[in-house]
Amino acid sequence: MESFQDTALQMLREFRKLLSNTPIPIIPTRFLQYLALNMFSIEYSRPKETHVEQGYWSTVHECALAMSLQMFSLIVDRCNQLLKDILNKDDGSTAKQLIGSDIDFLLPPIKVWCDWLLCNSKVWNPPPSCSDYKLSGTGDCWCRLASLVNNLEKFRERFKLVLNEPDDSDPSKRKKSNFFV
């Protein structure tokens, strides 16, 4: 644990560098495996005793939570950057042309992580302070997630994106957009 913070900061820097590449040089399955490893480390490190007070964490559990939340924050931040770039671009492109492979790559893991957070609130809530691991930028993962939701709503409004459109040939059938929200 003596070298945890230095190692964690180095890993987060490298993860941020990985996310900054276009296209992101990792296959989607591997990316989801990283999230699954984070979920496993949080679950495995949490106190198992029933007499332990709610909100108490071991040092290892708190570190697992902090690292996982910081990795999630970097993913959300990168998605926010990409959406802001698209929203600032005014070249008359359609939404389908603007949704790039990087956004398509990042949204499913964000949804998986949010689903996990919703289903496991007793494991992580209240969240630990991640101030020791902050690399750059303003706000924590919760502010960045709120920003992402706002940016997705702006994107949807600007490009008149409809998630479920009626099929012209059969009104009872619905086409689904490949936009994950």
Instruction: Tell me the domain boundaries of the chain.
Output: 4-176
pTM of the predicted structure, to 2 decimals: 0.77
The pLDDT profile of the chain, 181 residues, written as one tens digit per residue, is 778 888 888 888 999 999 999 888 888 888 889 899 999 998 888 877 655 555 567 888 888 888 888 899 999 999 999 888 888 876 656 566 556 668 888 988 999 999 999 998 888 877 777 665 555 554 688 889 999 999 888 887 776 655 555 555 555 544 444 444 4
Measured CA to CA in angstroms, residue 133 lies from 25, 36, 128 at distances of 24, 21, 11
CA 75 to chain centroid, in Å, comes to 5
Q: Which residues of 84-111 are buried (b: 16+ CB within 10 A; e: fewer)?
A: eebeeeeeeeebeebbeebbebbbebbe
Contact of 102 with 82, CB cutoff 8 Å: yes
**Which tokens sit at 94?**
């359609």
Contact of 45 with 58, CB cutoff 8 Å: yes
Q: Is 133 exposed, middle or buried (0-12, 13-18, 19+ CB in 10 A)?
A: buried
